[in-house]
Amino acid sequence: MRIVLFCENKYAVDILHPIQKEADKEGGNEVLWYVHQLKIPSFPLAKEVRWTHSMQEVYDFSPEAIFVPGNIVPYYLPGVKIQVFHGYAAEKKGHWIIRHYFDTYFTQGPFFTEGFKKLAQKYGNFEVLETGWSRQDWVKEHLHAFDAEKEKMLKEAGRKQMVLYAPTFSPSLTSLPVMKEALVELVEKRDVLVVIKLHPLTRKEWVDEYKALAEVHPCIVFKEDFSVAKYQLMADVMISDTSSTIYEFLLKNKPVITYRASAPKIYWKDIADPALLCDAFDEVLHDEENARLRQWVIDNYDPYMDGKVAHRMLDGARDYIRRHGVPRKRSTNLWRKYTSIKSFGWVKRK
C-alpha cells in the first residue's frame, strides 16, 4: 500500500511516526511524508524517512491511503483520506466540525466513536472506525524508557516527585499570566521538582518570562524539547489549563490540576485561584473521586494501550480500499476546494 503521512504541524510527527514504524514492520508498503515547509522548517525525522515539502511530489506518488492528524487535506489528492486526530479535546467545537475532506474517521475510543457515528448518519459521506490513537503506541513502547532520567533529575534536585507544567498557548485560555507565583510556592512548600514545557506557539514574552523563572529557581526546570510526550511519562502530576494534553496525561492514570479549564465536564481537579495550587496538589495524590474520574476517561476516551493502534489503522485503510477502491479525489464544495488550494497550492494533474 502506498501511504502518505500528512504532517502539516509539529505535533503531527509523534502521531504519525508509529504508523511509519508499523508499515515498515509489515513490509510491502511505501511511505511518503508530506512535511509543511513553513510550519516545520526542521523535520526531526529527516534522516530516517522518505519525505517531501512538495505537494506535486505527493500527488505524483499516487497514494492509496493518506493519514491526517490535522483538519484539512487537499481534496484533489488520490487515496482514502483518513482523519486520525491530533488530540482528545472534545470540549473544543472544532473537534466535531465535519469539513468534508475525509472519507473515514479513525476514532480514539467509544466516546468519540459514538459522536462521529451520529455525524456520519447525518451527512452520509464518510465512515467511522474505532482504532485508538496512534501516539498511544509510542507511549506503550516507551512506558518506562525515561525512568532513569527522571530519577537522576529528582536526585540532583533533592526532590521526591516531578510535576509537569504544560499550559496551552491560547491567550484567552492560558494560565501563564497568573501561575508563576503559585509554581514558586509549590516548589518551596512541597517536595517537588517542576518541569515547564510550553506549547511551540506560546508567545515569546511568556517563553522568556518562564525561562527567567527557571534560571533563578533550582527546582524549576525549563525544557525546550520537540515534544511534551516524554515529560508526560516522567511526571507524577500535571498542571495545565485548557489543553488536550490533559487527557493524554489522564490516560496514563495520573492526576491533573487545571486552572479554570474550559470544559463542559471536568474529570480532574480544577481551581479558580492559583493560590489553591498547593492544597490541590495534596488532594489529587490520594483522592478516590479523582481516581474514579480518571478511570472513566481511560475507559471511554481511549482504552487502547495494547501497542496495536497503528496496525488497526493500516488494516482499516486496506479494508476501506477493498470495499470502495482507491478514491481519485474527495468531492466537496467550492469553498472547501478554495481553502484546500489556498492552504497547499495546486498541482499538475495527470
For position 201, which CATH number holds?
Answer: 3.40.50.12580
DSSP state of 208: H
Q: What letters, b where the CB count within 10 A reaches 16 and e where it falls short, cover 268-301?
A: bbbbeebebbbebbebbeeeeebeebbeebbebb
C-alpha–C-alpha distance, residues 311 and 218, integer Å: 43
Query: Are 168 and 102 found together in one domain?
Result: no
Please check whether residue 289 lies inside any domain of the structure.
Answer: yes
Please check whether residue 73 lies inside any domain of the structure.
Answer: yes
Query: Are 205 and 68 found together in one domain?
Result: no
CATH number of the domain residue 324 falls in: 3.40.50
C-alpha–C-alpha distance, residues 222 and 323, integer Å: 50
Query: Are 294 and 163 found together in one domain?
Result: yes
Helix (H) or strand (E) holding 104: strand 104-107
Query: Are 92 and 195 found together in one domain?
Result: no
Query: Are 196 and 329 found together in one domain?
Result: no
Half-sphere exposure of 27 (CA within 13 A, CB side): 0
| pLDDT the model gives residue 328 | 94
**Closest-CA residue to 280 (of 289, 272, 288, 271):** 271
| pLDDT the model gives residue 93 | 67
Report the predicted TM-score, pTM, of the whole model to 2 decimal places. 0.89
DSSP state of 89: -
Distance, C-alpha 53 to centroid of its chain: 22
Angle at 85 between CA 82 and CA 90, to 5 degrees: 135
Cell of 99: 469539513
Please check whether residue 350 lies inside any domain of the structure.
Answer: no
Q: What is the pLDDT along the chain (350 residues), one digit of tens a residue?
A: 999 999 999 889 999 999 999 999 999 999 999 999 999 999 999 999 999 999 999 999 999 999 999 999 999 999 999 999 998 877 666 788 899 999 999 999 999 999 999 999 999 999 999 999 999 999 999 999 999 999 999 999 999 999 999 999 989 999 999 999 999 999 999 999 999 999 888 999 999 999 999 999 999 999 988 678 899 999 999 999 988 889 999 999 999 999 999 887 899 999 999 999 999 999 999 999 999 999 999 999 999 999 999 999 999 999 999 999 999 999 999 999 999 999 999 999 87
C-alpha–C-alpha distance, residues 64 and 185, integer Å: 54
**Domain of residue 101, residue span:** 2-133+304-344
Query: Are 127 and 148 found together in one domain?
Result: no
Query: Are 177 and 297 found together in one domain?
Result: yes
- Taken in order 23, 24, 30, 33, is the CA torsion positive or negative? positive
| Amino acid code (one letter) for 91 | E
Residue with cell 472534545: 90
- Taken in order 248, 251, 257, 263, is the CA torsion positive or negative? positive
Q: Give how many domains the chain has, as a whole number.
A: 2
Indicate the length of the chain as a whole number.
350
Please check whether residue 29 lies inside any domain of the structure.
Answer: yes
| pLDDT the model gives residue 244 | 80
Assign residue 161 a region: left if phi > 0, alpha if psi is -120 to 50, beta otherwise? beta
C-alpha–C-alpha distance, residues 5 and 29, integer Å: 12
Which neighbouring-strand residues pair with 221?
195
